[in-house]
Chain A
Amino acid sequence: MHEASIVTAILDQLQQRKEAGDFTGKLQVVNLKVGKLTAVVPENLKFLYDILSGETGFAGSRLEIEMIPVICSCGACGNEFEMEELNFTCLHCGSTGLKVMSGRELLINTLEVDDGD
């Protein structure tokens, strides 16, 4: 359950941003981008966030997760394609020189915060 480590890292970053004055109002939503080529179960992240954030100043906020597809670019033929089923050989030319362009993301993208008005 390394999702606990990931949620703890999210909460640490939120705390640092709050202390740095990046936001002042009540935090409502943390929007993540999670690549499909990560070892992360999104439901576990949400579940653990609800539990672990309850012990912090961010109780009541929630995670929203946008899943990012695996997109590869072929170094040999230049073709760029989305990989729905993982297979790291180019569908067009058979080269194994694929570069993963997206799908490894584990990002905090945006925060939704009450603006106090």
Chain B
Amino acid sequence: MATKQIEVVTSILDANQRVADEIRHIFAHADLLTINLISSPGSGKTLLLEKTMPLLKACGIRCGVIAGDIATCADAERIAATGAPVVQITTESFGGACHLEAPAVLQALGHLQMDELDMLIIENVGNLVCPAEFDVGEALRVVILSVTEGEDKPLKYPLAFHVADCCLVSKIDLVPHLNMSMEKLHASLERINPKAKRIELSSQQGDGLTEWVDWLVEQNAQKTELLEHHHAPSASTGKGHSHGHSHSH
């Protein structure tokens, strides 16, 4: 039997992208700066947020958090203890996914008073591979690399680092105890994403937190522009998705 070829040429993640675009529109309307925070499990996302919330509050920025996990509400409880509004998404109800997708974020937004927030941080599921591919409507992406993970991780998981606007190097207080080279780590980051803002910090000791919060405050001050001009970090539509912001992705 003969076969015929049918031209399709559509993005596989088209459905997710449509929801992400809808979310981006909602955030622009609400003047809400949203950050997608991505890292390996145990790299210090939740501790960083626990330390960040009071500092943002002191700067007059009202920040909420969406915490993504496969299971448990432990992260949300830790962040809620800082007084920040938190919504937990457990991906169990979305097939136990190893990453957040736009529909789960859209659903979580219904539980947030967006008009009472200036900023929203989406703590993605701990994973350097899967979340990188899924746009959740954020304006900025931040990736954390802890010094205990090894210098070569940006080369092994390039997409997560390549599409980040800011790379945080965490747990720097542990460097003296490790057989690792900060020079090599920075060289890896430089190769994959030479344009991203880079901040070394230790949530435990407090180093670098001021620089991190200053960066957030700066982004918040220029958010109208970010929200108007930022396009999806994903260029997977194959239709020449343009990037309106100044970074090269």
Chain A residues in the interface with B (C-beta under 8 A): 1-2, 4-6, 9-10, 12-13, 17, 22-23, 25, 28-29, 32-33, 35, 37-40, 75, 86-89, 96-100, 104-117
* A6–B132 CA distance with the chains assembled, in angstroms: 13
Question: Which residues of A have CB within 8 Å of B177?
Answer: none
Q: 17 A-B contacts, Cβ less than 8 Å apart? A: A1-B130, A2-B134, A5-B130, A9-B13, A17-B8, A22-B6, A32-B12, A38-B236, A39-B130, A39-B132, A100-B235, A106-B11, A106-B236, A107-B12, A108-B8, A114-B1, A114-B2
| CB < 8 Å A-B pair total | 132
Pair B6/A35 contact, Cβ less than 8 Å = no
- Give 1 or 0 for each of B17-59: 1 = CB within 8 Å of chain A CB: 0000000000000000000000000000000000000000000
Pair B7/A105 contact, Cβ less than 8 Å = no
Task: Please name the residue on chain B nearest to A86 by beta carbon.
Answer: B158
Closest CB of chain B to A54's CB: distance in Å? Answer: 17
* A86–B161 CA distance with the chains assembled, in angstroms: 12
Pair A99/B133 contact, Cβ less than 8 Å = no
Pair A2/B129 contact, Cβ less than 8 Å = yes
Pair B15/A12 contact, Cβ less than 8 Å = yes
Question: Which residues of B have CB within 8 Å of A97?
Answer: 195, 248
- Give 1 or 0 for each of B145-179: 1 = CB within 8 Å of chain A CB: 00000000001011110100000000000000000
Pair A88/B162 contact, Cβ less than 8 Å = yes
Pair B11/A23 contact, Cβ less than 8 Å = no
Q: How many residues of B contact A (CB 8 A)?
A: 45
Pair A37/B162 contact, Cβ less than 8 Å = yes
Closest CB of chain B to A45's CB: distance in Å? Answer: 9
Q: A10-B12, A107-B238 are in contact. Are A113 and B159 (CB under 8 A)?
A: no
Majority-rule SS of A interface residues: mixed
* A45–B229 CA distance with the chains assembled, in angstroms: 34
Within 202-249 of B, Cβ neighbours of A (below 8 Å) are at 234-236, 238, 243, 248-249
Query: Quick check: is B90 within 8 A (CB to CB) of the other chain?
Result: no
Question: Which residues of B have CB within 8 Å of A107?
Answer: 9-12, 236, 238
Partner of B194, one of A6, A96, A113: A96
Closest CB of chain A to B40's CB: distance in Å? Answer: 13
Pair B162/A2 contact, Cβ less than 8 Å = no
Q: A39-B129, A88-B194 are in contact. Are A9 and B4 (CB under 8 A)?
A: no
Q: Which of B4, B14, B16, B95 has the most CB of A within 10 A?
A: B4
Query: Quick check: is B88 within 8 A (CB to CB) of the other chain?
Result: no
Query: Quick check: is B3 within 8 A (CB to CB) of the other chain?
Result: yes
Partner of B3, one of A22, A28, A32, A100: A28
